[in-house]
Amino acid sequence: MGDSVSNQLFERASRILPGGVNSPVRAFRAVGGHPIFIQSAAGAELVGADGKAYVDYCASWGPMIVGHAHPKVVQVVQEAAARGSSYGAPTEAEVVLAEAIAAAVPSIEMLRMTSSGTEAVMGALRAARGFTGRDLVVKFEGCYHGGADYLLVKAGSGLATFGEPDSGGVPAAIASTTAVLPFNDPDAVRALVAERGEEIAAIILEPVVGNMGCVPPDAGFLELLREQCDACGALLVFDEVMTGFRVARGGAQARFGIRPDLTTMGKIVGGGMPVGVYGGRRDVMEKISPLGPVYQAGTLSGNPLATAAGIATLELLAEPGLYDRLEQAGAEVHGIFEEAAQAAGIPLTVQRVGSMLTPYFRDAAVRTFEDASACDMERFARFHGGMLEHGVYWPCSQYEAGFVSAAHDDAALERTRAAVNAVFPTL
């Protein structure tokens, strides 16, 4: 994409890393070309390996909500590192961060820290299975919950079938413990609960989907899930790894007024450091070892660098007016896309919840994974390449949400407007 240093690095990486990357979406396969290697970041800006600066809307896939390398976060991480990077023993910072999370998210009465969102989801669903004594997990097509075998599944031939493996190396027997339903389809939920409710341990979803772009729940859908879980004795699990502290201080559950039984978080609560959290009802969490029979452990859980960064980030997010500013910046980016598309005569639907948003290259709302898959992927690829050429780093897949940070000031938004206005007429 015009970065010769990145191209050289990608050639080197491809000889030692599968696909040249350590996470598949980074490979730019969905948009063509080679990925931009990053050498540094500050505020709302990334700097590529050749020194070119980009306004960043990937935000490390969400957590950099106060901007990259915020001075306060950098300071506390440096101070923590000077005291030792890992102890494998309890620290006061773990307690402080846990208390801050629970204070902001009332459904979390007790929590456990992990080192990633994947671990957090695995722990939450193991707890749900241990608490209910049931095996079946229900997820929704288009929602991503990490790399656990039983979550890498796709929908079967019917609306309420067992899942089928969506990845090599996933045994069919493991995938069969998960049922996959269409997102925003209340009839499918009711049908599955009516047929197999006594088998369901948990229904898990991203309450605002970020992994097929930004897809909000239809009015009443989250309420229906709460009602159906109560009816059949299953636990409702919100995967708020993206939405936690992003769409509202208390996450999507605060924004929509729904109380899940368990919640998973990550990204922002570690201030960009590797971290995950799962928590919720005390009676469920007391099933976790060493209090109960559900085992889960992690040597680096509650890592002192991650907890320091998380505490500092949550303190910054408590500043008066910050979420209003995020909302306003998100709305401005939303408007920039819509105005440019209208002027260029390009079909575009922009969906946004707070400071996460997606421009979909289609002329209708996206409610399901099927809808997202019907977008003009070739046009998105041209959009992505054009934005890079004009100094804006947008997530490299139509299926990924973009994120606005508190560091996106007027100058960053004007650079974005100029790029969008230059690119859309060429699409």
Calculate mean pLDDT across residues 385-407: 97
pLDDT of residue 373: 95
Q: Helix (H, G, I), strand (E, B), or coil: what is residue 382?
A: helix
Angle between helices 304-317 and 92-104 (to 10 degrees): 30
User: In this structure, are 299 and 269 located in the same domain?
Assistant: yes
How far is Cα 60 from Cα 68, in angstroms, rounded to an integer?
9
Per DSSP, 333 falls in state: H
Both tokens of 127, joined, read 């707890």
Q: Which of 317, 342, 373 is the last residue of a domain?
A: 317
CA distances to 59, 147, 344, 389 from 115, rounded to whole Å, are 19, 14, 45, 35
Name the residue type at position 46: L
Distance of CA 374 to the CA centre of its chain: 22
User: In this structure, are 122 and 63 located in the same domain?
Assistant: no
Q: Give me the torsion for CA of 101, 105, 110, 116, rounded to 10°.
A: -60
Name the residue type at position 319: E
Is residue 364 exposed (0-12), middle (13-18) or buried (19+ Cβ within 10 Å)? exposed
User: In this structure, are 210 and 143 located in the same domain?
Assistant: yes
User: In this structure, are 359 and 247 located in the same domain?
Assistant: no
How far is Cα 297 from Cα 316, in angstroms, rounded to an integer?
30
Q: How many residues does the chain have?
A: 427
Q: Which of 280, 302, 317 is the last residue of a domain?
A: 317
The residues near 162 (Cβ < 8 Å, ≥ 6 apart) are 156, 175, 176, 178, 179
Q: Which of 317, 352, 382 is the last residue of a domain?
A: 317
Segment among 46-60, 142-156, 239-253, 283-297 with least mean pLDDT: 142-156
Render the burial of 174-185: b for 16+ CB within 10 Å, e for the rest.
Answer: bbbbbbbbbbbb
pLDDT of residue 346: 98
| Count of the separate structural domains present in the chain | 2
Higher pLDDT, 148 or 45: 45
CA distances to 68, 109, 326, 402 from 256, rounded to whole Å, are 29, 19, 18, 21
Say if strands 153-154 and 164-165 run parallel, antiparallel, or are unpaired. antiparallel
Q: In this structure, what CATH number is given to the domain that contains residue 403?
A: 3.90.1150.10
DSSP assignment of 122-169 equals: HHHHHHHHHHHT--EEEEETT----S-GGGSEE--SSTTPBPEE-STT
Q: Which are the catalytic amino acids?
A: 144, 239, 267
pLDDT of residue 159: 38
pLDDT digits (tens, 9 = 90+) for 339-357: 999 999 999 999 999 999 9
Spatial strand order of the sheet with 110-114 comes to 110-114, 276-280, 262-266, 235-239, 200-205, 136-140, 178-181
User: In this structure, are 192 and 293 located in the same domain?
Assistant: yes
With 70 as the cut, is the pLDDT of residue 370 above it?
Answer: yes
User: In this structure, are 373 and 308 located in the same domain?
Assistant: no
How far is Cα 407 from Cα 417, in angstroms, rounded to an integer?
16
pLDDT of residue 97: 98
Q: In this structure, what CATH number is given to the domain that contains residue 181?
A: 3.40.640.10
pLDDT of residue 161: 42
DSSP assignment of 22-83 equals: SSGGGG-TTT-S-PPPEEEEEBTEEEETTS-EEEESSTTTTT-TT-BT-HHHHHHHHHHHHT
pLDDT of residue 155: 53
User: In this structure, are 115 and 39 located in the same domain?
Assistant: no
With 70 as the cut, is the pLDDT of residue 395 above it?
Answer: yes
The residues near 25 (Cβ < 8 Å, ≥ 6 apart) are 395, 396, 397, 400
User: In this structure, are 343 and 303 located in the same domain?
Assistant: no
Cis peptide before 290 (omega within 30 of 0): yes
pLDDT digits (tens, 9 = 90+) for 190-226: 999 999 999 999 999 999 999 999 999 999 999 999 9
Per DSSP, 234 falls in state: P
User: In this structure, are 179 and 249 located in the same domain?
Assistant: yes
With 50 as the cut, is the pLDDT of residue 126 above it?
Answer: yes
Range of the domain at 102: 71-317
Residue 218 zone, left/alpha/beta (φ > 0; ψ -120 to 50; rest): beta
pTM of the model: 0.96
10 Å Cβ neighbour count for 366? 26
